[in-house]
Amino acid sequence: MNTVPPPGCPARQSLYGPEFAADPTAVYRRLRESGPTAPVELAPGVRATLVTGYDAALHVLRSPETFSKDPRHWRDLADGTVPADSPVLPMMMYRPSALFTDGEEHGRLRGAITDTLARVESATLRGYAERSADTLIDRFAPRGTADLLGEYAQVLPLLVFNHLFGCPVGHGVRLVEGMSGMFDGVDAEKAYDLLIDTLLDLVALKRHRPAPDLTSWLMEHPAALTDEELIHTLAVLMGAGTEPQQNLIANGLRLLLSDERFAGDLSGGTLPVEDALDEVLWTDPPIANYAVHYPRYDVVYEGTPLRAGDPLVVSLAAANTDPALTNRQHTGNRAHLAWSAGPHTCPAQGPARLIASVAVEKLLDRIPDMELTVPVEDLPWRPGPFHRALAALPVSFPPAPAVERSENGRPGDGRFREGRSGGGGFGGGGFGDGRVDGPERSSSDPFPPPAFEPWAPEACRPRSAWARAAAWWHGE
């Protein structure tokens, strides 16, 4: 294979900046001219090889004996080539979690995650998502306009995860704000510090007052996680459940509102939500480029030398859209790499898809006549090499009434219920069939569902999406 980039393809293509954020597909197309792998720069001074071919991606993801996930192999970081203040370091440095480990250590840490997630019943999770969606929609439905990113897709996972992890309200906002900053690569070190400090506070609270939630269950798991492992395992779960989740919801809504294959059916009774999610997971996966691996020794892949310790970044987005794939039918096709593959396949695919499906279905059921207020090509995208994330999703629609509420202000009976099981809490039914009904939260619950206050007038809202979310939480 010719290792010299063809004309028009730079020696190292930048995966940061406004050009890449605006049209990553064009960048992937240029890089493919070099073959299934190509040299890139993730940030100034951070060199890597991007894997753009589907078969090449599977080869890397399924060959842990050759390609390690442990960043302690990263040669440029060890010798000081990578700047100490690089914005991508918080997303790439070694931490004692399942994301950055191999072999037995990875198996132990991943086992704690999969066992803990298995205690959450799908019916309970669906109830959390539906009630959270209704509460958010009630805030903007009477107004006739909304930013579906800042007022819905970003906040809904936060509401759900606050319940799942037993987070006090302020902790949830800080956790997701920290994760968002790390993905964007803007003040990433500060964002990482915010994330870790908040998780330390959360763990201290749960040590003092354990409860039937994911945080407490991780603490009591037989894997006997150290405090450091616990903190970084929570960071992985928060990262996987909030940032990618909001992107999946927002990108799915964008497709449904703009693509004529779907948009014509929004109010037709049968909503093509699952089809739209399949399409998004193929063409605009919420995490575009992140499955970083490091060759354990010098190898050659299809004529291209890959040096030991040089980061290989698997482009899930580019691999999914590889022209070499013969099956271009995405509906019902789950062979995409949006959840990665191999030993590091995402363990929470079912929950993630369930939350996204509920979020989209509930919104389209309540407000079927939405329209984008700007052309789809003018929607802004957030910077950063790792994700595919909208910065805003403005829509307009005929004002709709809020759902009638019970006296406690929540939809229906207004209560979040926990599934029954021998272990209490969310139950042991996994994400299969489960029962919604169970013991209601006690009025003495140390972390009850937050009280939802009315939105402030439009002119008074902060401009930042996360500032809006924080202000909303505090009723400002």
pLDDT at res. 184: 62
**Residues with Cβ within 8 Å of residue 194, at least 6 apart in sequence:** 174, 177, 178, 181
Q: Is 15 left (phi over 0), alpha (psi -120 to 50) or beta?
A: alpha
Name residues whose C-beta falls within 8 Å of residue 79's C-beta, 6 or more positions apart in sequence: none
Give residue-wise pLDDT tens across range 113-162.
999 999 999 999 999 999 999 999 999 999 999 999 999 998 899 889 88
Per-residue pLDDT averaged across 440-449, rounded? 36
- pLDDT at residue 341 in the model: 95
Position 196 pLDDT exceeds 90: no
Are 429 and 124 in contact by the 8 Å Cβ rule? The answer is: no
Instruction: Dump pLDDT digits (tens) for 389-437.
Output: 899 999 999 998 877 655 444 444 433 333 323 333 333 333 333 222 3
Average predicted confidence (pLDDT) for the chain: 80
Comparing 364 with 410, the larger pLDDT belongs to 364
Residue-wise pLDDT for 197-254, tens only, equals 888 888 998 999 999 999 999 999 999 999 999 999 998 888 787 888 999 999 999 9
- With beta carbons less than 8 A apart as the criterion, state whether 19 and 43 touch: no
Instruction: Report yes or no: 398 and 369 within 8 Å, Cβ to Cβ.
Output: yes
| Per-residue confidence (pLDDT) for residue 100, from 0 to 100 | 96
- What is the pLDDT averaged over residues 448-455? 35
How buried is 2 (Cβ within 10 angstroms: 0-12 exposed, 13-18 middle, 19+ buried)? exposed
446 Cβ neighbours under 8 A, 6+ residues apart = 209, 211
Measure the CA–CA gap between 239 and 176, rounded to whole angstroms.
Answer: 8
Residue 473 has pLDDT above 60, yes or no: no
Please state the rounded mean pLDDT for residues 354-359.
Answer: 95
Among 72-76, 238-242, 460-464, top mean pLDDT goes to 72-76
Give the whole-angstrom CA distance, residue 118 versus residue 388.
28
% pLDDT > 70, the chain = 76
Residues 6 or more apart from 43 whose CB is under 8 A from it?
Answer: 16, 86, 87, 88, 185, 385
Which CA distances in Å does 122 have to 4, 127, 214, 270, 436? 51, 9, 14, 23, 9
**pLDDT value at position 169?**
72
CA distance 14 to 307: 20
- Do 310 and 48 meet the contact criterion of CB atoms below 8 Å apart? yes
Least confident of 17-26, 228-237, 327-336: 327-336
| Cα atoms in the Cβ-side hemisphere of radius 13 Å centred on 438 | 23
What are the tokens at 118? Answer: 């298995």
How far apart, in whole angstroms, are the C-alpha atoms of residue 33 and residue 13? 12
What pLDDT, on a 0 to 100 scale, did the predictor assign at position 179? Answer: 64
Q: Report d(CA 358, CA 355) in Å as an integer.
A: 5
- Where does the pLDDT of residue 163 fall: very low under 50, low under 70, confident under 90, or very high at 90 and above? confident
Predicted confidence at residue 73, as pLDDT, reads: 97
Q: Which residue has the tokens 């499955």?
A: 291
Looking at per-residue pLDDT, the higher value among 259 and 429 belongs to 259
The pTM of the full predicted model, rounded to 2 decimals, is 0.80
Distance CA 474, CA 95 (A): 33
Share of the chain above pLDDT 90, in %: 53
Cα–Cα distance, 57 to 37 (Å, whole number): 9
Q: How many alpha carbons fall within 13 Å on the CB side of residue 234?
A: 33
Band of residue 259 on the pLDDT scale cut at 50, 70, 90: confident
- For the chain, report the end-to-end CA distance as a whole number of angstroms: 60
- Do the beta carbons of residue 358 and residue 133 sit within 8 Å? yes
Cα–Cα dist 208/201, whole Å: 11
